Structure 1
Amino acid sequence: MARTARLVLSAVAGMGLLAGGVAPLASAADPVPTNFIVVGPASGPLTATTTSITEAGGKVLQSWPQIGVVLAESDDADFAAELRGDRGVLAVGSSRAMAAKTAPDGDSDSGDPLGLGPGTSGGDDNDEADFSKQWDMTMIGADKAHLVTDGSRDITVGVLDSGIDATHPDLAANVDPSQSVGCTNDGKPDTDPARWQPTTSSHGTHVAGTIAAARNGKGIVGVAPNVKLASVKVVNDDGYIYPEYAICGFLWAADKGMDVTNNSYYIDPWGLWCRGDADQKAIVTAVERSLAYSDRKNVVNVAAAGNSAWDLSKPITDTGSPNNGTPIERETDKHCYDLPTEAKNVVTVSSVGPTTEKAYYSSYGNHVIDVTAPGGDAWLDWNAEASKREDTIYSTVPGGGYGWSQGTSMASPHVAGVAALIRSTHPEWNAARARRALSQQAQQLSCPKLYDHTDDGKADAVCEGPKGGGFFGAGLVDAHAAVTR
């Protein structure tokens, strides 16, 4: 499946594919400013780093001293090469192709005061109006879990995405404005509600509903309907998630004391970031530092494996990067990573359809996938005349509505919700222990003898490793086990 969407979603039934415009590369005769990630010392002051940046003609936009990283701006295409090796500079690379930067995202006015509701303790999911459409919740035992508990109000899940509609009837009670933020203006945290609510995309609102739609007798119910949600907007109006946006999001979530984050995207503009490239290596280092900081702060970070049907354990031919410039075909190796999903200590999630078969679009890989979850598969019957939306995931969309979508974007929030239930049940556990529990409690799924989704007699993907690990990791997450073990 072509890797055409930055947000890891495959849409059906009227929801558009999230693939923003592509900006042309600038010519040497037409310099335009772009952003550069500058990696300095991991600890201590960044004075030497910022001095080197300004002496090289760059402008400091943002500094993250907690991880020793600075964001700079320059219109010099040779800025990175000239800055490398200067005092206080360990690595530097552009965070996007040399393309004109867009203005900050447009405003979004809710028109209503935003605030948390009282919460719920648990109940019968069949009392929710649209629960009959939520095959995914029964698959992972969420309905059984909710007879025990809806999760703890002390737990917060940060939704790093395109923003959450905090006025939606199924979300309003659970979105915490005090922990929400926009990160799409050069990675600078902005707590104005206009900066963290959706403007051009329904993606974040759909994801949020799966995690924690409230128990209120309306619409749907989430995996952990009593936990709090924080909208951490890392997707700009053009659909891009540049490294500085993601770094801002990870650090915000960590410093705000969030317990779980969901990351249903890959970081632009490279589908795979390679250490062998000096520019890309700087971004890999900076993102890894932000995630390591998050891990030290005991955040469980969950991420979608992607919709390219790639075997992430093998070398890959990448033909779609950079996606904000002119893509080039390149052969990648084991030192190239899909970020954030392949970073250390991130829970990597593949997707299954209603029969627990690997979804046709889902990326996979032995020793890469940690667990799997329902993400939907509209083409479960490949020979059907039309896709079947009821085999995808039903959740909230902006404006108070609901919609069907599929993708590892939809699988990942199920895991984030289960992680929130685990952290609710065992608040004394650190992030590493909670991650282990996700795997230990998962229901093992075996590798198929032949994965032939298209019914042409040929393998469409090969599941390697013992106990179904190549497709499913440790198996299907189990919400009921999360609240009873």
Structure 2
Amino acid sequence: MKKVLTVLLSVMLILGFVLPVQAADGQTNEETIPFTVVFKNSTLPGNMDKVIEDHGGELVYEIPEIGVVQVEAPASFAKHAMKHSSIQVASPSLVEKIPEVDSIPLETEGVNLEDAVLYEAYQWDIKRVTEDGNSFDLNTGNHDVVVGIIDTGIDLNHPDVQQNLLPGSKNFVPAGGIDGVDQSETGDITDVQDRNGHGTHVAGNIAGNGAILGVAPDTGFRAYRVFGAEGGAYSAWIMKAIVEAANDGVDVINMSLGGIYIKGQIWYTDPATGERMKMGNDVAEYVAYMRAAKYAEKKGALIVTSAGNDGLNASNKKEVLEFANEQYGPLGYEFVGAGFYTPASLPNVVTVSATGPNDELSVYSNYGPGFIDVAAPGGDLKLYNEYMENGNFDEYLNNRLFEQEFNLSSVPTVEYSYNEDGQIVDYTYTGPGYSWYVGTSMAAPKVSAVAALLFAEHEGATPKKVKNLLQQSAEDIGKKGKDKYFGHGLSSAYRALMH
């Protein structure tokens, strides 16, 4: 079988706002604006349908365990809904995106893919976390401890992740996908096949066991698919997945994703009319995430999340806000207030920064005092950027320099069909493969794997205890003691198991 190795820059971050749709006469069709509604109680009121309808809204998604729903409603919905006694906050819904990036396929036909051959040749990152595999002699995990991977799904046919994929994976992408045009998205809750690659790559970092190895190669996992082929998801889908994973009894929830949420005011200027509209306070998504994370913790699940790939001091709320305005200003948005990376900013999660092959902070990784808990290898872009800027990127590829700084793991290989607007309308799966990625998305799953090993070692441990153990056992790198780049230090499976 032809296998494909792919070099891919994985930058899983930031939000895409859904804009009001323009009607043929140039007027705004307000009915297309999605809102996230958080009720004051952590349950849905009995008269919820009437409350939503009375304010001109239509229910499209609900998370009853935390009192959160998504509705479609006129732009004025939030202003009026906030006055209702049962509603805490209502804000425009957000879409979390995986930006489109180029991939470079490298055929490996005829390459011997026997056990651990790619681990031995390329996985410097896994070797760093396991201290050259020494942690494998102590504990490799088991199927009694489960990691829930909230991502793009899993390649059901990939030999390197099949044996640790447990029954019960779920899909949260509704029919049509994020754009409503993907024919492969039927809303089937059992359809967890990865159309993108990101989720399978994450799974390989955690529990790969074949030509590649993960940090915990015998640990069980389930896939909770919230992203389709195009890599977009409403935050409500993600929060629903957190709740479902917690209900299913997973021990660790890996979230190699995130976005910026504003506590303040959002303004939108209609490009057609020049009208400046007040879109409400974006605290709804943050409150909802807080509830979902607390719900998971009460159920015994520890959330591990990536820090983000913008090279920002994420503890500086002004700096994050300015970055959001730079990104979305051209789209007509203006934010006033404070910016937070979420779920990374939540107090009861483990937030992971990324390091390169020399234990340095990766050039793209977010950081910040009190923001980062621990670090892990996510790969770096120093050589990549150097050769790109000097105009000799072909030399970078021909000399396979990406092997020195990127992370190799499992992926599906797929081909897409597009409509005339460039939207993905279908996909064809062509087989399992392997790819090099780089990003904090690759750092977080290594820490999730270490957390899973700690749950296996300490039966009955609480999420809080495992988080403390992760911090206490981390290898101090960089400035002595806890710092803004690596938190408590580099996560190490060997040190954690010996602690």
Structure 1 residue aligned with 2:206? 211
Asked if 1:326 corresponds to 2:331, the answer is: yes
Report if aligned partners of 1:67, 1:289 keep a CA contact under 8 Å in 2. yes
Structure 2 residue aligned with 1:249? 241
After superposition, the Cα gap between the structure-2 partners of 1:373 and 1:71, relative to the gap in structure 1 and judged at 3 Å, is same
Task: Give CA deviations for 1:447-470 in whole Å, capped at 9, x if unaligned.
Answer: 3xxxxxxxxxxxxxxxxxx62511
* In structure 2, C-alpha distance between the alignment counterparts of 1:302 and 1:140, rounded to whole Å: 16
After superposition, the Cα gap between the structure-2 partners of 1:30 and 1:42, relative to the gap in structure 1 and judged at 3 Å, is closer
Structure 2 residue aligned with 1:235? 227
Q: Aligned-pair distance for 1:320?
A: 5.9
Q: Aligned-pair distance for 1:377?
A: 1.0
Structure 2 residue aligned with 1:70? 69
After superposition, the Cα gap between the structure-2 partners of 1:343 and 1:324, relative to the gap in structure 1 and judged at 3 Å, is farther
After superposition, the Cα gap between the structure-2 partners of 1:69 and 1:330, relative to the gap in structure 1 and judged at 3 Å, is closer
> Which residue type is aligned with residue 131 of structure 1?
Y
Q: Aligned-pair distance for 1:327?
A: 5.4
> Which residue type is aligned with residue 219 of structure 1?
A
Structure 1 residue aligned with 2:109? none
Structure 1 residue aligned with 2:357? 354
* In structure 2, C-alpha distance between the alignment counterparts of 1:14 and 1:96, rounded to whole Å: 25
Match of 1:413 among 439, 442, 445: 445
Structure 2 residues without counterparts, runs of 5 or longer:
96-113, 179-184, 267-279, 413-430
* In structure 2, C-alpha distance between the alignment counterparts of 1:237 and 1:393, rounded to whole Å: 21
After superposition, the Cα gap between the structure-2 partners of 1:273 and 1:240, relative to the gap in structure 1 and judged at 3 Å, is farther
Structure 1 residue aligned with 2:347? 344
Structure 1 residue aligned with 2:144? 154
Report if aligned partners of 2:361, 2:485 keep a CA contact under 8 Å in 1. yes
Structure 2 residue aligned with 1:106? none
Task: Give CA deviations for 1:269-288 in whole Å, capped at 9, x if unaligned.
Answer: xx333255643111111111
> Which residue type is aligned with residue 91 of structure 1?
V
> What TM-score does the superposition give when structure 2 sets the normalisation length?
0.77
* In structure 2, C-alpha distance between the alignment counterparts of 1:389 and 1:364, rounded to whole Å: 24
Structure 2 residue aligned with 1:273? 262
* In structure 2, C-alpha distance between the alignment counterparts of 1:18 and 1:439, rounded to whole Å: 24
Task: Give CA deviations for 1:80-137 in whole Å, capped at 9, x if unaligned.
Answer: 112111131111112138xxxxxxxxxxxxxxxxxxxxxxxxxxxx951111211112
Q: Aligned-pair distance for 1:322?
A: 7.4
Structure 2 residue aligned with 1:193? 190
> What TM-score does the superposition give when structure 1 sets the normalisation length?
0.79
Task: Give CA deviations for 1:136-164 in whole Å, capped at 9, x if unaligned.
Answer: 12211261111122112101111111111
Asked if 1:389 corresponds to 2:381, the answer is: no
After superposition, the Cα gap between the structure-2 partners of 1:16 and 1:434, relative to the gap in structure 1 and judged at 3 Å, is closer
* In structure 2, C-alpha distance between the alignment counterparts of 1:145 and 1:310, rounded to whole Å: 33
* In structure 2, C-alpha distance between the alignment counterparts of 1:329 and 1:71, rounded to whole Å: 23
Report if aligned partners of 2:363, 2:381 keep a CA contact under 8 Å in 1. no
* In structure 2, C-alpha distance between the alignment counterparts of 1:172 and 1:85, rounded to whole Å: 51
Report if aligned partners of 1:48, 1:88 keep a CA contact under 8 Å in 2. no
Q: Aligned-pair distance for 1:71?
A: 2.2
After superposition, the Cα gap between the structure-2 partners of 1:320 and 1:206, relative to the gap in structure 1 and judged at 3 Å, is farther
* In structure 1, C-alpha distance between the alignment counterparts of 2:235 and 2:440, rounded to whole Å: 20
* In structure 1, C-alpha distance between the alignment counterparts of 2:374 and 2:360, rounded to whole Å: 14
Structure 1 residues without counterparts, runs of 5 or longer:
1-10, 98-125, 448-465
Report if aligned partners of 1:305, 1:349 keep a CA contact under 8 Å in 2. yes
Aligned length: 417
Asked if 1:181 corresponds to 2:170, the answer is: yes
* In structure 2, C-alpha distance between the alignment counterparts of 1:339 and 1:189, rounded to whole Å: 29
Report if aligned partners of 1:368, 1:470 keep a CA contact under 8 Å in 2. yes
* In structure 1, C-alpha distance between the alignment counterparts of 2:326 and 2:236, rounded to whole Å: 18
Q: Aligned-pair distance for 1:357?
A: 0.6
> Which residue type is aligned with residue 481 of structure 2?
K
Asked if 1:364 corresponds to 2:330, the answer is: no
> Which residue type is aligned with residue 297 of structure 1?
K
Report if aligned partners of 1:319, 1:327 keep a CA contact under 8 Å in 2. no
Task: Give CA deviations for 1:343-368 in whole Å, capped at 9, x if unaligned.
Answer: 12111100000000111010100110
* In structure 2, C-alpha distance between the alignment counterparts of 1:444 and 1:154, rounded to whole Å: 31
After superposition, the Cα gap between the structure-2 partners of 1:321 and 1:421, relative to the gap in structure 1 and judged at 3 Å, is farther
After superposition, the Cα gap between the structure-2 partners of 1:322 and 1:395, relative to the gap in structure 1 and judged at 3 Å, is same
Task: Give CA deviations for 1:267-326 in whole Å, capped at 9, x if unaligned.
Answer: 4xxx33325564311111111111111111111101111110000111211246776991
* In structure 1, C-alpha distance between the alignment counterparts of 2:222 and 2:335, rounded to whole Å: 38
Structure 2 residue aligned with 1:35? 34
* In structure 2, C-alpha distance between the alignment counterparts of 1:21 and 1:361, rounded to whole Å: 20
SS of residue in 1 equivalent to 2:21: coil
Q: Aligned-pair distance for 1:479?
A: 0.2
Structure 1 residue aligned with 2:118? 130
SS of residue in 2 equivalent to 1:291: helix
After superposition, the Cα gap between the structure-2 partners of 1:198 and 1:34, relative to the gap in structure 1 and judged at 3 Å, is farther
Please give the residue correspondences for 1:296-315 in structure 2 after superposition, counting only pairs within 5 Å: 296-314=298-316, 315=318
Report if aligned partners of 2:9, 2:438 keep a CA contact under 8 Å in 1. no
Report if aligned partners of 1:371, 1:477 keep a CA contact under 8 Å in 2. yes
Asked if 1:437 corresponds to 2:469, the answer is: yes
Q: Aligned-pair distance for 1:26?
A: 2.6
> Which residue type is aligned with residue 392 of structure 1?
F
* In structure 2, C-alpha distance between the alignment counterparts of 1:350 and 1:70, rounded to whole Å: 32
Task: Give CA deviations for 1:50-92 in whole Å, capped at 9, x if unaligned.
Answer: 3211212212233323212222222x11111121111311111
* In structure 1, C-alpha distance between the alignment counterparts of 2:383 and 2:90, rounded to whole Å: 45
* In structure 2, C-alpha distance between the alignment counterparts of 1:167 and 1:88, rounded to whole Å: 47
Asked if 1:79 corresponds to 2:77, the answer is: yes
Report if aligned partners of 1:60, 1:72 keep a CA contact under 8 Å in 2. yes
Q: Aligned-pair distance for 1:473?
A: 0.2
SS of residue in 2 equivalent to 1:130: helix
Please give the residue correspondences for 1:40-59 in structure 2 after superposition, counting only pairs within 5 Å: 40-43=39-42, 45-59=44-58
* In structure 2, C-alpha distance between the alignment counterparts of 1:203 and 1:220, rounded to whole Å: 16
* In structure 2, C-alpha distance between the alignment counterparts of 1:241 and 1:321, rounded to whole Å: 22
Report if aligned partners of 1:184, 1:236 keep a CA contact under 8 Å in 2. yes
Structure 2 residue aligned with 1:287? 289
Cα RMSD between the aligned structures?
Answer: 2.9
Asked if 1:13 corresponds to 2:18, the answer is: no
After superposition, the Cα gap between the structure-2 partners of 1:63 and 1:18, relative to the gap in structure 1 and judged at 3 Å, is closer
